[in-house]
Every structure is written in structure tokens, then in C-alpha cells.
Amino acid sequence: MSQRSSAELRGQVAWLGLGSNLDDPAGQVRAALDELANSPDVVLLAQSRLFETTPVGGPPGQPMYCNACAAIATPLAPLALLELLQAIERAHGRVRDVRWGPRTLDLDILAMDARQMNEPRLVLPHPRAHERGFVLVPLAEIAPALALGHRGRVIDCLAEVDTSGIKPCGLA
């Protein structure tokens, strides 16, 4: 049995948030989706459209972001998936200096099945996903009924947030 079908049969699904606002943001996000799809430990199940989004937080004057979400099946444990995502970020030249500062690529695990984790390296569901339009708008395209822990369903969280400054920028 191939790793791909084994990942699918295992039925472990993770929802990812992708973001970039440096060096061709839409190209960075599209490339990251391709790299995920080509990873032997990942089956790409669904992807949202790409959205151009106004920066939230961080230093003033940073460029607009491109954001998208994806659903994957994977046999990887949560921390191993985080390591894979951080390796992809590094390959895109990600530098961490300013919190919420501009970045070539940010890959977050928004949720992984119904798991709850609260470790220094990984919090699941992502602690800010429920309050961010740049996450919820693309996530609602692929997982409207997904529960973000005690915060409730994506579609209900979306109804509570400001989605101005978020517009589709093309098909992923």
C-alpha cells in the first residue's frame, strides 16, 4: 500500500492556513500548495481560492497578504506535521524577526481532527483562527462546519468577524 492511500485510510485530516506578503505572495502560496501536494506524507484533499487581505497586527505599512486554506490527510503526528510545514517555510526563505511582521510564507495548522493541544510549540486549534477574517473566509470555502474547539463552527465564527479588506485574487 502506498503512503498516499495509507494517509487517506487513516482518515486524519488537518486544516492549514497559508499566508504570504513578500516576494510574489500569490506565487508563494501556490508553490506551497504544490509542495504540500507533492509531499509523500500528505494528500491534498481540498484548497480554497486565494484571497488578498489587509494586514492584521504587526508593523505599520507592511504589504497586503495573500491567504488561502487547505485540507490535507496525513499519517504524521501533529508535531511532525509542524516540522514539515516549518521546513517548507524555511525553503521559502522565511525569516522570523518581528512578530506578525512581513513573511515570504507562513503555514499554520488551524485544526487537526478534533484534537486539542496546548504545548509551547503547538496549540490546536490555532488560538487566533476563530477571530481572523483572513483565516475564516478561505476556511469557510472548504470546511464551513468544522468546529474550532469550543469556539464553534467556522461559519458561525465568520459571522462575527470583520471581512472588509478581504477579496478573492484568483483560483489556487
| Contacted by 138, from ligand A4P, Mg ion, none: CB < 5 to 8 Å by type | none
Does 108 bind Mg ion (CB under 5 A)? Our answer is yes
Instruction: Show the binding pattern over residues 132-151: x = contacts ligand A4P (CB under 6 A), - = does not.
Output: --x-----------------
Cis peptide before 55 (omega within 30 of 0): no
Does 122 bind ligand A4P (CB under 6 A)? Our answer is yes
Does 56 bind Mg ion (CB under 5 A)? Our answer is no
- Its sign, for the CA torsion 31, 33, 37, 41, is positive
Identify whether 4 is a catalytic site residue.
no
Which amino acid is it at 2? S
Among 91, 100, 162, 170, binds ligand A4P (CB under 6 A): 100
Show contacts with ligand A4P in window 67-86 (CB under 6 A). Answer: 67, 82
Identify whether 103 is a catalytic site residue.
yes
Contact 50, 113 (CB under 8 A): no
Maximum separation of any 2 CA atoms in the chain, in Å: 51
| Contacted by 39, from ligand A4P, Mg ion, none: CB < 5 to 8 Å by type | none
Instruction: Show the binding pattern over residues 153-172: x = contacts ligand A4P (CB under 6 A), - = does not.
Output: --------------------
Identify whether 97 is a catalytic site residue.
no
Does 131 bind ligand A4P (CB under 6 A)? Our answer is no
- Cα 73 to Cα 71: distance, rounded to the nearest angstrom: 7
In the complex, what is the shortest distance from the CB of residue 34 to ligand A4P, in angstroms, rounded to a whole number?
A: 19
Give the DSSP per-residue string, 92-139: TT----STT---S-EEEEEEETT--EEETTEEES-TTGGG-HHHHHHH
Does 28 bind ligand A4P (CB under 6 A)? Our answer is no
Closest CA to 15 of 118, 143, 141, 105: 143
Q: Catalytic residue numbers?
A: 94, 103, 106, 108
